[in-house]
Amino acid sequence: MEVNDLDLIVPRLGECRIPSPMSGVNFVDDDAHVLYHGNLKTVERYQEAGKKPPCFEMAGPREKIYFDPAKLKCGIVTCGGLCPGLNDVIRAIVLSLFHHYGVRTVFGFPYGFEGLSYRHGHVPIELNPKVVQNIHQQGGTILGSSRGPQEVPEMVDTLEQMNVGMLFTTGGDGTLRASQEIAEEIERRKLKIAVIGVPKTIDNDIAYVQQSFGFVTAVSEATKAIYSAHAEASGARNGIGLVKLMGRHAGFIAAYATLANSDVNFCLVPEVDFTLEALLKALQERLENRGHAVVVAAEGAGQDLMGTTGERDASGNIRLVDIGIFLKDRITAHFKEQGIESNLKYIDPSYIIRSMPATPVDSAFGLMLGHNAVHAGMAGRTSMVVGYWKNEFTHVPISAAVSKRKQMDPKDKLWTGVLSSTGQPREMT
């Protein structure tokens, strides 16, 4: 779906009439927007056609807010797989609610959406500045997480019974789809509850969001695995370092980690097809010429080579076949069949990476996402996710964020840079 076909207007609960308790800040006007297109000629074409260029509502504190902080109760859930920076976002939301707006009741619902379903019996955690004081120094999430759907009416029942006026959901596309369903059920009941999403995807694959928290940390940690793979490969005769990185349908982590490390010789991503025969041929040529090689594969790469499991995980995603093990076995077998000595070392740092504390840059980014999520909710926005576009924080309707999956464009500068860095054939088919 093209951006021109999307409605980028964020729903509102009603008119904002309450003066913000914040002072000494630059308030953002409701008519402040961020252009989707960064190219001047593209924008001019819209203007010449008498059309308004597509743009996002700019995030930030508003001079007038919708909710009365003294009466407001808020809730937070963290869903899906772990990601560096989850605790940073929780902390930022709690501190902003308390210190910026004076909200005194914030519930943390344990284990994602399970915490909103009474049948699981989870007891909400009362969050305050003391509770979240140092949580950004540890990985994971103090609230716990889970995958899998819950009954939407039950979750809204919980919000209604606890008089929660604002729900912050932190997760990926599955979480955002569920958040949209919750917002729709709230609207059907004519309740005034804001649903604000914070995009959590270590793969950086949420549409219309330039960057999500945890991605920078993932790239940083992935490069360490690549350093180790290169050391192993260069220290052995015909050494091969094989690293599998996260990236279900998007190869951003693999691509950026490759660019951050000039020692990678082959980068395999879901967006670019390759054949096993072509890869093995190129790899053998590399060993003959240089004596060692490093291969980086995103977890979603090469799925067409291995068939499908036909299974889905708790989040409804197709369960991928392990490309790392597949390549390890096939590469080893190939050189054995050729009578060529090889020494392959396989590294899969996925669970280490996703459970790490965030880097300082990611921590700062998560803090700003959390703050802007609070500002959006206090201003009566709902069914939206806090985005980041052209280096500005934005409001993105959840409907837009889940309309497609963000992937690398093989014709874009990023992949061109990867090809230049690795020296791998442009096509391996």
Taking the C-alpha atoms of residue 289 and residue 425, their distance in angstroms, rounded to an integer, is 15
Taking the C-alpha atoms of residue 27 and residue 125, their distance in angstroms, rounded to an integer, is 32
Nearest to 419 by CA among 276, 277, 297, 258: 258
Strands of the sheet containing 266-268, edge to edge, are 266-268, 292-298, 239-245, 343-347
Taking the C-alpha atoms of residue 244 and residue 296, their distance in angstroms, rounded to an integer, is 6
Residue count of the chain: 429
Q: Which of 173, 203, 205, 263 is catalytic?
A: 203
CA distances from 70 to 42, 61, 97 (A): 46, 18, 11
Q: What angle do CA 317, 318, 324 make, to 5 degrees?
A: 115
| E strand or H helix at 394 | strand 392-397
Give the number of other Cβ atoms within 10 Å of residue 302's Cβ. Answer: 23
Name every residue whose Cβ is closer than 8 Å to that of residue 47 and which is 6 or more positions away in sequence.
Answer: 53
Evaluate whether 253 touches 298 at the Cβ level (below 8 Å): yes
**CB-based burial label for 49 (10 Å; 0-12, 13-18, 19+):** exposed
| E strand or H helix at 168 | strand 166-171
Q: Is 203 a residue of the active site? A: yes
Q: What is the 3-state secondary structure (H, E, C) of 131-166?
A: CCCCHHHCCCCCCCCCCCCCCHHHHHHHHHHCCCCE
Q: Which amino acid is at 270?
A: P
3-class state of residue 105 by DSSP = strand
Nearest to 149 by CA among 126, 127, 171, 121: 171
Residues identified as active-site: 203
